[in-house]
Structure formats: structure tokens, C-alpha cells
Chains A and B, each alone.
Chain A
Amino acid sequence: MQDDPLAAYLNDVAERDRAAFDALYSAASAKLFGVCLRILDNRAEAEEALQEVFTRVWINAGRFDADRGRAMTWLIAIARNHCIDRLRARTDEVLPDDTGDPFAQMPDPAPGAEARTIARGEARRISDCFDTLEPARAEAVRGAYLDGLSYAELATRHAIPLNTVRTWLRRGLLRLKECLEA
């Protein structure tokens, strides 16, 4: 945690330290706003989402474990999950939603020692592993992750029939997994 100042803030927030909450907002809001804007592509909605994200951070800070991953990874996962829920709620019809659902707490971002090992040097390895995918699949994985694209949007973007796009992407994910865990 010594090289993760956000983790220290989060631990203080878990103790209901409002000054730490303010400091966390100053330190992390630009990155998390960048996440919300990219996924939602709408400034007003991104601002609403950011409020919800920090509300969840206050409520769930006690679940963050600095031994299991970096604070920013945990924060971004909360932001992505919330924004993707919002995106899906826009287009899916007649569905109960879980936006604002504090039950849907994100999982621990990394399961102990194994994940710490994974996290080390992960940046380099994942880009190496992306290189083993055919370019369209690598692009689809990146687009899904960064922009929150759905299967329907991926099918349109990559000109793949909707009924096969899931199999198509899953093959890419399997290849990625084989490479990452090799």
C-alpha cells in the first residue's frame, strides 16, 4: 500500500473520515469522470453517474482490501459497473434495474497472492497477448471494455451476425486467457 496513496484514503473513508473522502474525490474524480464520460458519452449523465459512484465508494469502502489489489482498480471497477448498468438500462426494456444497488457490490478486485502475481507486469503481458489475437477480436475486447459496447453493438461494428458474435468474442477471450495464464 506504500505506493498506493488512494488505498490509504479508502481505508480512512471506511472509518467514516470525511476529510479523507474529500481528498479521495480530489485525487480520483478526474480518472473516474473520464471513465464515466467515455462509457456514457454524455456529460450530464456522466456527472450523475460520478455522484452515484462516490456514494457507493463511501458505502462500500470497508470492502476494499489493499492487500488484494490497487485502489484505482477497485474504484474504476465500481465506475465501470455502474456506467455499464446505466447503458444497459437505456436499451433493455421492462427490466428491474440494479442501479444504485449496493448489494451489487463489486467483487474483490484481485484474489490474494495469485492475483498480485498476475497484476505484476500485467500491462506488458496483456498487450503481448492482445497481439496474439486477430486484430478484429482484439479491437472488440478493447471496445467492449473501454466503451461498454454490447454484443449487438459489437456485431454491427465488426459486421458479424448477431447470433454468432458471442461465440466469436468468446473464442478471443479463451485465446487471451490461454496466453495470460501460459
Chain B
Amino acid sequence: MSTPHPPIPDEGDDLLAAEYVLGVLSLPERLAAEARLRDDPAFAARVAAWTAHLSPLDADYPEVPAPNLLPQIEARLFGRAEPAARRGWGRSVGRRWLLGGLGAGAAAAVVGVFLARPGKPPMLTAEIATANGALIFQARYDAGTHVATITRTKGQGPGAAKDYQLWVILPGKAPSPVALVSAPRLRVTLPKLVAGDTLAVSLEPAGGSPNGKPTQVLGAGVLTRA
């Protein structure tokens, strides 16, 4: 195999996709590959094909009983852990009753029972940090007014000809740009968000993303109840 590779035009891309799936790339190369995954369907298809090719190796991963981390995971996603029974009443059953068109009196009674929790819109928070912790934003979001306060609690501004940009990511949706957050502290009105939705910050050319997609993601955080 000392001959040069045959000149197939996209061979380099295909090998890059294989290297990404294998995991051998450096972090900058992985980030570049992930950016292409979002924008380049042909490259995404190559990655998908290699994922399928190599997935039989997954059988070699052992099963190791994991500790029950659900309370921590759900606290990150939904706020403080609640007992399942209360959760069922307070959230789904209670809401279904309210929306289900009960008589006004009965509805009022139900509201009375549950008013303590749904009556006051929650304050949601998220921390958005780079992995090395050099840059940290704290976000506080008032679910009643939809106003968020974004504070850069650690790290420098974006530098000349750059901006930090805030994004909202709803489940299963593409990120949507909402504000530039280069100032150390900023109040912005955001769309309606709930616990479990995600905020992220990217580094962009001055003025924000030129194409509506994040250029360089710096970090992201899931909104949880304060």
C-alpha cells in the first residue's frame, strides 16, 4: 500500500468523517468537523455511514451498572427533584384538569389546591461556561416576564471586531440567535422558555452571526429552576 491514494474527489472528506467517528481528531479538528456536520449534508451522510459501519464495535463495551444519577440529571433539567406523586399532580394532572374545561367552581378549587406552585412563575437560571472555565456567563430568566439577565461573571470581553452572541435552543430545534451579550451585563426579553430549554453563547464577528448559525460555540447551559 505504498502507492498514492487513487484520486477520488471526496476521499479526504470520507476519511475525515471516519476519523471523526473513530475519535482520533484533536479538539479543534473535532469542532471543525461538528460545524460541518451542521451545514454540510453530504459530510453528515458520510459520518452517518461510518457510524453505521463501526457500530458493531459497540458490542465490546461492557455493561456496568450505573449509580442512580437520575435525581441529579432531573434536577439539572427540571429543577429540584420532586417526589413522583406530587410531580404527577402538580404538573400533568393539575394542568390537564385546568385545561380540560371543568366548571368554573371546580376549576377554582383545583387552582386553590395548586396555587402555591403554579401561581408564581419560576425564576430559571443557567450557567454557560467554557470547559476550561475561563469564561462564564450566568443567566437568570423570569418565566413570568420573559426577561433574562445575562451577566459575564468570569473572563474577558470578545475582543476587537468580535461579539458574544446568545442563542436559545428549544428541544429538537435549531439554535436561534437572540441577542449580543458582549457587555458585562445585559437585560433582554427572550421567547417563552421553560426548564430544560438551553441557552448558549458563541463567538461571532462583530454584529453577530453572519448566517444565522453559531460560528464558534463557547458553551451552553440548561435552564433549571432557581
Residues of chain A whose beta carbon lies under 8 Å from any beta carbon of chain B: 14, 16, 18, 21-22, 25, 29-35, 37-38, 47, 50-51, 54-55, 58-63, 68-70, 72-73, 76-77, 80, 84-86, 88-89, 92, 94-111, 114-115, 118-119, 122-123, 126-127, 141-142, 144-146, 148-151, 154, 169-171, 173-177, 180
Q: Which residue of A lies closest to B11 (CB)?
A: A174
Contact of B62 among A38, A51, A86, A169 (CB under 8 A): A38
Q: By DSSP majority rule, is chain A's interface helix, strand, loop, or mixed?
A: helix
Task: Indicate whether B56 reaches chain A with its CB closer than 8 angstroms.
Answer: yes
- A126–B57 touching, CB < 8 Å: yes
Q: How many residues of chain B are within 8 Å of chain A by beta carbon?
A: 71
Q: A-contacting residues of B (Cβ < 8 Å)?
A: 1, 5, 11, 14-15, 18-19, 21-28, 30-31, 34, 37-38, 44-45, 47-49, 51-67, 69-70, 72-74, 76-78, 87, 130-132, 167, 169, 171-172, 175, 196, 198, 200, 203, 214, 216-222
Total CB contacts across the A-B interface at under 8 A: 227
With A33-B66, A145-B57: A104-B217 Cβ-Cβ less than 8 Å: yes
User: What residues of A have a CB within 8 angstroms of the CB of B48 in the complex?
Assistant: 68-69, 107-111, 115
Q: When the two chains form their complex, are residues B55 and A122 in contact, meaning their CB atoms are under 8 A apart?
A: yes
By a CB distance below 8 angstroms, the chain B residues around A145 are 21-23, 54, 57
Bound-state CA distance A112–B89 (Å) is: 41
In the complex the two chains form, is A55's CB within 8 Å of B73's CB? yes
Other 20 A-B pairs with CB < 8 A, given A29-B66, A30-B64, A30-B65: A16-B171, A18-B74, A34-B61, A35-B61, A38-B61, A51-B73, A60-B171, A89-B131, A96-B31, A99-B131, A100-B221, A103-B34, A103-B169, A122-B55, A122-B56, A123-B59, A149-B23, A149-B24, A171-B1, A177-B18
